Amino acid sequence: MKLLLHTCCAPCSVYVIKYLRESNVEPTLYWYNPNIHPYTEYKNRKETLEKYAEMIGIKAIFQDEYGLKEFIKNTVNDIENRCVNYCYRIRLESTVKYAKENGYDAFSTTLLVSIYQKHDEIKKIAEELSKKYGIKFFYHDFRDGYREGQAKARELGLYMQKYCGCVYSEEERYLKK
């Protein structure tokens, strides 16, 4: 199976890639995350994924599109629902389109490993896009490997972000303390 794996960051990809490889699936990583802000955070995450991909010898495609203005324009009137209505959807749709246009059999996302994301919503959006574009959604609940992947990422010295990615989640990080 030729699988395109939307990848939000290197730490979240560690367990997912391990699982896929153990299942005899060699994914191609796909970076498209215009929801990550500020630019320094976006750059750190992208560069960490580039280094990790090289370190483990995996193909990675980078759609380098920093998108603060588009993000704000598309979320400012519905901040509470931004993850479902914008962040998940825009990244998954870009992944599905790329997969379809470039001969992949299926797509998936490392967002499915996070214990902090809205797992059922991500799955629902991916299934909807799978039907819309006529390409298989490879679903697996990777959350059981979240802690293992994070521990391995720390062991490897990968940059570990402290919030989901957008400016609103960064604010929430500090307000919760």
Per-residue pLDDT at 24: 98
The answer on pLDDT for 135 being more than 80 is: yes
Residues ≥6 apart with Cβ < 8 Å to 88: 111, 118, 121, 122, 125
CB-based contact 4:28 (threshold 8 Å): yes
Mean pLDDT of 66-83: 95
Identify whether 38 is preceded by a cis peptide bond (ω within 30 of 0). Answer: yes
CA distance between the termini of the chain: 44
Q: Within 13 A of 54's CA, how many CA atoms are on the CB side?
A: 7
Per-residue pLDDT at 69: 94
The answer on pLDDT for 176 being more than 90 is: no
pTM: 0.96
* Helix axes 10-22 and 146-155, enclosed angle (nearest 10): 110
The answer on pLDDT for 177 being more than 60 is: no
pLDDT one-digit tens code per residue, 93-107: 999 999 999 999 999
Instruction: Determine the Cα–Cα distance for residues 166 and 148; give it in Å rounded to an integer.
Output: 25
Question: 146: pLDDT confidence band, cut at 50, 70 and 90?
Answer: very high
